[in-house]
A = this chain, B = another copy of it.
Amino acid sequence: MKKVVTMGEMLLRLTPRHYKRLVQADSFRAIFGGGEANVAISLANLGHESLFVSKIPDNEIGLACKDVLDENGVNTDFLKFGGERLGLYYSEEGSGVRSSYVIYDRLNSSIAEASIDDFDFDEIFKNASIFHISGITPALSKSCKELTKIALKKAKEAGVFVSFDLNYRSTLWPLDEAVKFYEEVSPYIDLCIGVIPEIHPSFKGVFNEKSLEKMFEETYQRTGIKYITSTIRKSFSATDNRLSAGIYNGRDAHFTDEIDVRVEERIGGGDSYTAGLLCSLLDGKDKNDAVEFAIRASALKHTIKGDYNLSEREEVEDFVRGKHSGRIEW
């Protein structure tokens, strides 16, 4: 067991039940999640030690949030309590031709207003193998941008393998600011999830193997990051998707099989891919085997309610070995 550190925001997600629209809801499912937390939880469920770093308010909503991490076996020793509020968002689950969408209400959250003094990175990165963070965290606030930079630098100094999920959100910061940041921190990054957004005119995930390989190359040219990976999602409808993934190491690209998924819960699908990939790296798999494992972990996650992959490693391995018919195992 090797330790993975992730850092970021954890939010409350409010989602109507049974595909109801937001305007129809008289109750919301309450799910605590967030990109980096989802990766930490999924890794813990895959059997690795993971540690999540963040700041959450010192009230019962903060405690409820922490419970989720504890229940899933994530180390919360560096979870700070304080600040104003837990960020939240409303999410409506699409169905068929109707898309899902999200309304953010995450300004002034505890992590967005956290200071660098809240975290002792020397302690945090002690014995760590991997550090993972996403491009959402630096977009939250000016202090989060600084915090992200310092964390990346400290991780690199501590000899930790650094994974960065670009995860560009136009609602949080402008494209040029984001790209500038990506380029600035690329020297600290070993694995980049996603490609530089500006190099694709319609960066809405609509690409195929060929176009993705080209984008891998360009991203590599501009950043020099050693590994670049991305999923390919063909979205026939909100409930029927086809998944695959590719990885590039500066020389050649590998693309996985395509897997049809029926979506029980879409959110967290990308994070479970990242967790599957990091799990594979910790296990010593080569890059090609790693993405085959990762895309199947992600496919399984799509069938599971909530943000996190609750699949155990054995289930994913069975899937890699061909067992995914959906038959009852008596």
Bound Cα distance from A174 to B68, whole angstroms: 36
Contacting residues of chain A (21-56) with chain B, CB-CB under 8 angstroms: 21-31
In the assembly, what is the distance between CA of A327 and CA of B101, in Å? 8
Q: Is A299 an interface residue (CB 8 A)?
A: yes
How many subunits of this chain does the assembly comprise? 6
Q: 1/0 contact trace for A161-189 toward B, CB 8 Å?
A: 00000000101000000000000000000
Within 8 Å CB of A259, what residues of B? 97
Task: Report the nearest B residue to A169, measured CB to CB.
Answer: B330
Cα A178 to Cα B85 in complex, Å, equals 25
Q: Is A100 an interface residue (CB 8 A)?
A: yes
B300 touching A97, Cβ below 8 Å? yes
CA distance A233 to B300 in the complex (A): 22
Interface string of A56-95 (1 = CB under 8 A from B): 0001110110011011110000000000111010111011
Closest residue of chain B to A233 (Cβ to Cβ) is B327
B residues less than 8 Å from A159 (CB atoms): none
Q: A274 to chain B: closest CB distance in Å?
A: 17
Structural contact, B204 and A327, CB atoms closer than 8 A: yes
Query: Known contacts A30-B25, A303-B97: does B60 contact A90 (CB below 8 Å)?
Result: yes
B99 A324 Cβ-Cβ under 8 A? yes
> Given contacts A71-B71, A326-B97, are A103 and B264 in contact (CB under 8 A)?
no
Specify which chain B residues have a CB less than 8 angstroms from the CB of A123 in the assembled complex: none
Among B92, B235, B323, which residue has its beta carbon within 8 angstroms of that of A325? B235
Using CB atoms, name the residue of chain B closest to A94: B326
A67–B205 Cα distance when bound, in Å, is 35
Complex CA gap A266/B91 in Å reads: 24
CB neighbours of A70 from chain B (8 A): 70-73
Residue of B nearest to A306 (CB): B24
Spot the interface stretch: A191-199, A212-220, A236-244, A284-292: A236-244
**In the complex, A101 Cα to B260 Cα: how many Å?**
21
Known A305-B20, A326-B97: A14·B26 in contact at CB below 8 Å: no
Task: Across the interface, name the chain B residue whose C-beta is closest to A67.
Answer: B71
Which residue of chain B has its CB nearest to the CB of A31?
B26
11 pairs across A/B with beta carbons < 8 Å? A67-B71, A67-B72, A95-B303, A96-B299, A97-B324, A98-B304, A99-B328, A100-B326, A100-B328, A101-B330, A239-B262
Q: Known pairs A99-B326, A102-B329. 4 more at Cβ < 8 A?
A: A24-B305, A27-B27, A94-B303, A98-B300
Identify the A interface with B (CB < 8 A). Answer: 14, 17-31, 59-61, 63-64, 67-68, 70-73, 84-86, 88, 90-92, 94-103, 105, 107-108, 169, 171, 204-205, 233, 235-241, 259-264, 266-267, 296, 299-300, 302-306, 310-311, 315, 319, 323-330
Closest 7 pairs (CB-CB, A-B)? A238-B326, A71-B71, A96-B262, A101-B329, A98-B303, A22-B60, A237-B326
